[in-house]
Amino acid sequence: MTRAVPVSVPVSHVNDETLSDFLGYHMKRAFNVIQSDLTETLRPFELRMLTFTALVLIVDNPGLSQSQLADAMDIERPNLVVIIDELEQRRLIVRDRVRTDRRMYALKATLAGRRLNKKALEATKAHEAKLLTGLDVQTTNNLMKVLSNLHHHLNNRHGGSD
Amino acid sequence: MTRAVPVSVPVSHVNDETLSDFLGYHMKRAFNVIQSDLTETLRPFELRMLTFTALVLIVDNPGLSQSQLADAMDIERPNLVVIIDELEQRRLIVRDRVRTDRRMYALKATLAGRRLNKKALEATKAHEAKLLTGLDVQTTNNLMKVLSNLHHHLNNRHGGSD
DNA sequence: TATTGTTATACTCTATAACTATA
DNA sequence: TATAGTTATAGAGTATAACAATA
pLDDT, position B9: 40
Answer whether A64 touches B (CB < 8 Å).
yes
- Residue B159 vs residue B91, higher pLDDT: B91
CB A83, CB A51: distance < 8 Å: yes
Per the rule left: phi > 0, alpha: psi between -120 and 50, beta: everything else, A106 is beta
What percent of chain A is predicted at pLDDT more than 70?
85
Of residues B15, B9, B16, the one with CA closest to residue A104: B9
Q: Which residues of A touch B35 (CB under 8 A)?
A: 24, 28
Mean pLDDT of B28-54: 91
CB-closest option in B10, B104, B151 to A65: B10
Residue B50 has pLDDT above 50, yes or no: yes
Position B156 confidence tier, pLDDT thresholds 50, 70, 90? low
Dist CA B149 CA B144 (whole Å): 9
A124-142 in b/e burial notation, b at 16+ Cβ within 10 A?
Answer: beeebeebbeeeeeebbeb
Closest in A33, A104, A151 to B158, CB measured: A33
Residue B29: which pLDDT band, with cuts at 50, 70 and 90? confident
- Binary contact (B34, A27; C-beta < 8 A): yes
Residue of A127 and A66 predicted with greater confidence: A66
Q: Which residue of B has its CA nearest to A11?
A: B64
Q: By mean pLDDT, which of A3-17, A43-57, A84-98, B58-72 is the weakest?
A: A3-17
Angle, vertex CA A154, rays to CA A42 and CA B144, nearest 5: 75
A9 contact B CB<8A:
yes
B97 in reach of chain A (CB within 8 A): no
In this model, does residue A6 exceed pLDDT 90?
no
* CA separation for the pair A92, A119 (Å, rounded): 13
**B74 closest CA partner among A50, A151, A14:** A14
Q: Are A9 and B68 in contact (CB < 8 Å)?
A: yes
Mean pLDDT to the nearest integer, B109-137:
88
CA of B77 to C1' of C19 (A): 15
Q: Does residue A11 have a pLDDT over 70?
A: no
pLDDT at residue A154, rounded to an integer: 66
| Chain A residue closest in CA terms to B159 | A3
Residue A119: band (very low, low, confident or very high) from pLDDT cuts 50, 70, 90: very high
Distance B85 CA to D8 C1' (A): 16
Average pLDDT, stretch B135-152?
A: 73
CB interface of A with B, residues 99-128, below 8 Å:
104, 106, 121, 124-125, 128
Q: What are phi and psi of A106, to 5 degrees?
A: -100, 115
Per the CB < 8 A criterion, the answer to whether A49 and A117 are in contact is no
Q: Is the pLDDT of residue B120 over 50?
A: yes
Instruction: Let me know: does B25 contact B19? Beta carbons within 8 Å.
Output: yes
Q: What is the pLDDT of residue B158?
A: 56
Per-residue pLDDT band for B4 (boundaries 50, 70, 90) equals: very low
Query: Cβ of B152 under 8 Å from any chain A Cβ?
Result: no
B7 touches strand C (CB under 7 A): yes
pLDDT at residue B12 in the model: 64
- A20 CB within 8 Å of a chain B CB: yes
Q: What is the mean pLDDT of chain A?
A: 84
Q: Does the pLDDT value for residue A97 go beyond 50?
A: yes
Residue of B nearest to A155 (CA): B33
